[in-house]
Amino acid sequence: MKLLTHNMLTSNIIKGVTKGFPLKIVPVQVEIKDVDYNPAFVVRTLSKVDWPALHQAAVETGFGDGLPETLGENFQQDEELLKKIHNALLQVEVIQGELVCPESGRKFPITNGIPNMLLQEHEVGQ
Amino acid sequence: MAARVACSLRSEPYKRYLIQFAHDLLDFRLQEIKSIISLLGCQASLRNTDLNNGSPFMEVALTSEEDAKAIMHRTVLSKSMYELWAEGSSISEVNMKLKQLPKGFTEPYTQENSSFRIMVDTFNKKISSSEKIKRIELLTDTESMFKGKIKLSSPEHSFHLLEFYKFDSAPSTEPEKVYFGRWISDGHRSVIKEFHLQTRHFIANTSMDACLSLVMANLAQVKESDLVLDPFVGSGGLLVSSAHYGAYVLGTDIDYMLLHAKARPSRAKQTTRAIDESVRSNLRQYGLESKYIDVLVADASQNHMWREGWRFDAIITDPPYGIREAAAKIACKETADVPTTEGEPHYPQRTQYQLGDIFRDLLNFAAKYLCLGGRLVYWLPIYKPDYSESCIPKHPCMSLESNCEQPLSQHISRRLITMVKIREFQELSDWDEASTKVNSVNSFRNNYFKSMQAVGVLNSDSVLRSEPLTSKQEGL
């Protein structure tokens, strides 16, 4: 699971949970996968990204170095920063670990890089 | 009547071009071209009535040769594009019109120091090579404008005489239409072969045909640096074609075993799946791994999994109809019978996901999570005797862009529906009012099996089994 995906995911599917974002990452195995650098995509994606959540995810997986806690206005001209964000968004991958619902503590396992977001029957809301 | 696809205040003069379509997926050809033209922002006027009598030729007015080439670079349902020099109902008429063309128009391509060839192509009728030569001789008689040297392989300029014959049980003797044009570019049909399922690393029971998945990406107007989601991803065929056009791709599927390469193999003679049979490896196979974002095991009926405010540029999907792949979602507590055994892994119980619910959830999801102007492209199964335009699910935020039919059998077809998000989502107080007809989709599965029983393909027992059926039901 890439941190970009983490930025889109919530646990609001659990019955009764309304503040299921951001999910806490408990990493067991994290890898860096080579992804072609495409600044156009990074900039476009940043307009949708929740920055504090990305920052937190990068810190939790051990790749938060060099990422500011708040994203300044002129990041588009900062090539070095864009490359770090590219790395955090697309290259850092959680291979094994867990996503934890911030409200209920419910855990979603990540195996072979694939999060399992399925719920048990009694957890499904209508 | 000509359809104006795109226009702007800048009024450059139109030039006449001719598209020769492939004889494939007839109902999709015009929509694919329209979608590509609007994606590229070309000024164009299409004479779509040309296609009415079964002709593969359509005249189109464009403002530049660059536009013509760009369109051909993207289409997988067109064979070639020509600059149209003359048209008529006979070869002699075309020849006469050719001679009337202004010299300034023809000379850049017909001078003595250039090389050229003339090809003859007939549709619906075969003619002998001696007849072809006769036609070429007529066009290159003594007063001919073609002064260059004839060169059959890779000449500088290639001219085509194209003839369309009507076909009523046998080809008519006289052509319905004759065209003469200068070849500009071929369509991008070679990519269909490159992505053919036979050579695909990972396939599932209902993997989408390579050509159709490319058409879907074209109808969705997928472009460079887009983010595309398939909520019923399976083996990721639709993601491959989107990534081919430059999008970053993401998918979800409820089938844990499939995404983890533990499902029963879909290929004959294969006993177990290879450990690396994954959506990711499919993208890697075509050099597109950098476009892979993720796949998730998730229930597509649970829209709240996605953060509010997140936006996808396109949603492209082939939902399960419960024929060859089970349509499932996780049961909720009230209906589920939960066996509890301490210490053992629990696999949540699935319940049948009604077709009407699938499409209602899908439209709702698209209305919330597509960007404005973003497209939803999906297949809708149709029991033909029940079909009318009103069967297509509706949503106040989504406008129907196109609806193309692929016939599968006498009673069954599927329609590729393209919708554009035209306004942001507001929670609707009364969904039923917005989409009353979604329920008629629910009867598809029953009608499907009834019609199969009627023709003797199935006995009543097989209606109950959950195994994938035979290739008779290709495509579902």
Which tens digits make up the pLDDT trace of B152-202? Answer: 999 999 999 999 999 888 888 999 999 999 999 999 999 998 899 888 888
Whether the CB of A124 is below 8 Å from some CB of chain B: the reply is yes
Judging contacts by C-beta atoms under 8 Å, the chain A residues touching residue B307 are 7-10, 21, 50
Residues 6+ apart with CB under 8 A from B161: B91, B94, B118, B119, B120, B121, B135, B136, B139, B178, B179, B180
Q: What is the pTM of this model?
A: 0.89
Q: What average pLDDT does range B437-455 have in this prediction?
A: 70
- Rounded to whole angstroms, the Cα distance separating A19 from A9 reads 12
| Nearest CB neighbour to B298, from listed A7, A35, A118 | A118
Residue B476, pLDDT > 70, answer no
Per-residue pLDDT band for B461 (boundaries 50, 70, 90) equals very low
Q: Where are the alpha helices (DSSP H) in B177-331?
A: 190-194, 210-219, 237-244, 256-259, 279-285
CB contact under 8 A, B293 and A113: no
Q: What's the confidence (pLDDT) of residue A61?
A: 97
**Mean pLDDT value across chain B:** 86
- Rounded to whole angstroms, the Cα distance separating B100 from B87 reads 12
The amino acid that residue B111 corresponds to is Q
Q: What's the confidence (pLDDT) of residue B399?
A: 94
Q: In chain A, at which residue ranges do the beta strands (DSSP E only) sit?
A: 24-32, 92-100, 107-111, 114-115
Residue to test with chain A: of B253, B308, B332, most A Cβ within 10 A: B332
| Nearest CB neighbour to B348, from listed A45, A115, A119 | A119
Q: What average pLDDT does range B231-240 have in this prediction?
A: 94
Q: How many residues does chain A have?
A: 126
Whether the CB of A9 is below 8 Å from some CB of chain B: the reply is yes
Q: What average pLDDT does range B314-329 have in this prediction?
A: 84
Q: What's the confidence (pLDDT) of residue B467?
A: 39
Q: What's the confidence (pLDDT) of residue B345?
A: 58
> CA of B332: how far to CAs of B329, B348, B474, in Å?
9, 10, 32
Q: What average pLDDT does range B14-41 have in this prediction?
A: 96
Dmax of chain B from CA atoms? 95
Residue to test with chain A: of B293, B329, B372, most A Cβ within 10 A: B293
Query: Nearest to residue A56, comparing CAs of A113, A116, A102?
Result: A102
Q: Are B161 and B178 in contact (CB under 8 A)?
A: yes
Judging contacts by C-beta atoms under 8 Å, the chain B residues touching residue A5 are 250, 293-294, 296
Judging contacts by C-beta atoms under 8 Å, the chain B residues touching residue A8 are 306-307, 310
Which tens digits make up the pLDDT trace of B266-276? Answer: 787 777 777 77
Judging contacts by C-beta atoms under 8 Å, the chain B residues touching residue A118 are 254, 256, 297-299, 330, 348
Q: What's the confidence (pLDDT) of residue B431?
A: 54
Whether the CB of A2 is below 8 Å from some CB of chain B: the reply is yes
Query: Nearest to residue B415, comparing CAs of B392, B434, B435?
Result: B392
Per-residue pLDDT band for B437 (boundaries 50, 70, 90) equals low
- Rounded to whole angstroms, the Cα distance separating B421 from B432 reads 19
Q: What average pLDDT does range B357-370 have in this prediction?
A: 92
Residue B66, pLDDT > 80, answer yes
Per-residue pLDDT band for B205 (boundaries 50, 70, 90) equals confident
Which residue shows structure tokens 């999910």?
Answer: A23
Burial per residue of B137-146, b for 16 or more beta-carbon CB atoms within 10 angstroms, e otherwise: eebbeeeeeb
Residue B83, pLDDT > 90, answer yes
Lowest mean pLDDT among B73-82, B273-282, B394-403: B273-282
Q: Are B417 and B378 in contact (CB under 8 A)?
A: yes
Lowest mean pLDDT among A3-12, A70-79, A108-117, B117-126: A70-79
Whether the CB of A46 is below 8 Å from some CB of chain B: the reply is no
Which residue shows structure tokens 């290879």?
Answer: B274
CB contact under 8 A, A5 and B227: no
Q: What is the ipTM of this complex?
A: 0.97
Query: How many DSSP H helices and E strands does chain A contain?
Result: 4, 4
